[in-house]
Structure 1
């Protein structure tokens, strides 16, 4: 690919993917389009901002003019731009529907306008579109049963992207990834939230009894999967992307406590959120058949992530100072 458009590239996964491009390609041409909402942060891109071929444009994927302004000459579009927090979606549904569906529509229409140059469009979806699964693992053919507004909005964008392949022949690929973690994640997410809470002397809130099971995917492994699919994926296909490492939220919390030198007295169980999925699990054989494998096991990845946050207070402290206290304490349903 000659020129990449990375939407939402100032966010957690998007910024990591931009950095990954500069690791695996000598002189990539990269345009980042990001609205810079609460989770978009130019600091995430500071170490590539001066690289040759890098361009940042502040703009909203829901704005057709902004999207058209960055699409000329683009070979590959990777859409990370999204509203992503389940807890936020329970209280602010409209912004999720707008970004995760209308924004996808705007991007796809622009890709149609530039069909002569765009060779690949990657829609970043999520395993949460499947809902929960108590036994076995979801395949790409599993029905979509989203159980919260965030997952429903992502399912809408996911299927809209596929419809543009089926209807107009656009070179669309959809990825559905499990929970990502690693450096540069916004501190409302559970792993950075717990690490930073402990660093600040706070307790860590666990929803319900902590028995919820998640498959954790180190962000760099996700980036390598996306890159593989840009170059070797098949248009019109969905690919699950998982770390293959399922643990309960309580197990995860105990390992963070161990890594930070804290004890279990710092755990505080709080009321569960409505529609909280018990377990996610992905079958990723389709992606692995292309030669992709995750490199990080969760203990190695969690250790490196914990060390990164403990050594980068200058990054997360200003962000956390702006965070609604309900996300810090776990009492998401309390009034401000």
Structure 2
């Protein structure tokens, strides 16, 4: 090809593109010059050349999308991700079988992308008391969400010799646009509306909270890296308790909230401390810089 001819655009398929993470990742990829083909679950969604309907639980639907898109890269984000989701079987239908459908679709239509980035979750580590969980820690899930992601990972590894796959294990992350059934948006919402009180579960659980923009940046960088057949934590290595987040939000807004502990919100399987080691991520994607959590909180409160 002549150096003066335009290079063909990189085609990247993103499942779950209209979800919380997907919106930020799509923006990041577009900024890098990718042509992004988004898949959306809503049946009434209008299809376009870059927006396709996909029921991830349907093998036929997955084959159709791969055949149409034939993407250079695939980022698989579509999942049931709310731990308190009311139908346990949905976790397995979507998170395990849905992922298998996508991989089998690539094989069925004879398409091998340059890389598939598959989003798992640090919840697979379970109730590990550590402030630096690395990828060698055992997988010991304690709820259906985590168990489905652990099962998904096990299944995906059987495809490492057939497709170029990278598994990302993000720890907790948040940002503008995350629904208020997640803890940090719930806290931000209460402070923004200057509510008198908030009901929470255990406020002394500690989490390694990242900014969704950092996670999107990490995914894009991992996609561009030459590594496959690996599992990589996506985290900052800095844990915060909900108590610390409440205190910081109070300081940023000048508003005091009365905190009421609701026993119904205290899960027996709650992981007490979940903080990861970002060492492997830093070695694979050194240019991706973490965003301090207080900046994330300030950004969310400003919305």
Q: Evaluate the alpha carbon distance shift between residue 217 and residue 114 of structure 1 in structure 2; reply closer, same or farther with a 3 A threshold.
A: farther
Deviation track 1:214-257 (CA, whole Å, cap 9, x = no partner) reads 00111111111111111114211001110222111111122223
Aligned residue for 1:56? 51
Q: Distance in 1 between matches of 2:134 and 2:201?
A: 27
What does residue 316 of structure 1 align with?
none
Match of 2:30 in 1: 22
TM-score in terms of structure 2 length: 0.88
Q: 1:136–1:217: structure 2 CA closer, same or farther, 3 Å change rule?
A: closer
Unmatched segments (≥5 aa) in structure 2: 1-8
Residue matched to 2:281: 287
Partner in structure 1 of residue 262 of structure 2? 270
Deviation at 1:259, TM superposition (A): 2.9
Are residue 307 (structure 1) and residue 289 (structure 2) matched? Answer: no
Q: Which residue of 1 aligns with 2:21?
A: 13
Superposed counterparts of 1:127-276, under 5 Å: 127-166=122-161, 169-200=162-193, 201=195, 203-208=197-202, 210-265=203-258, 267-271=259-263, 272-276=266-270
CA contact (8 A) 2:214 2:290 kept: yes
TM-score normalised by the chain length of structure 1: 0.80
Aligned residues: 288
1:237 and 1:96 map into 2 onto residues whose CA distance is 23
Which one has a larger percent helix, Structure 1 or Structure 2? 1
Q: Which runs of 5+ in 1 are unaligned?
A: 43-48, 309-336
The CA deviation string for residues 123-144 of structure 1, in whole angstroms up to 9 with x for no partner, is 1011110112223422111110
Query: 2:131, 2:239 within 8 Å by CA — same for their partners in 1?
Result: no
Q: 1:116, 1:63 → 2: CA distance?
A: 18
Displacement of 1:15 in angstroms is 1.3
Instruction: Give a deviation string over 1:48-103, Cα, whole Å, max 9, x none.
Output: x9xxx972222211112222222132111111100011122xx3201111101110
What do you get for the CA RMSD once the two structures are aligned? 2.2
1:318 alignment counterpart: none
Which residue of the partner structure matches residue 125 of structure 1? Answer: 120
Give the match's secondary structure for 1:165. coil
Partner residue in 2 for 1:75: 72
Instruction: Please give the secondary structure, in 1, of the residue aligned with 2:301.
Output: helix
Q: Which moved more, 1:198-207 or 1:169-178?
A: 198-207
Contact kept, 8 Å, 2:131 with 2:237, in 1: the verdict is no
Q: Which residue pairs with 1:315 in the alignment?
A: none
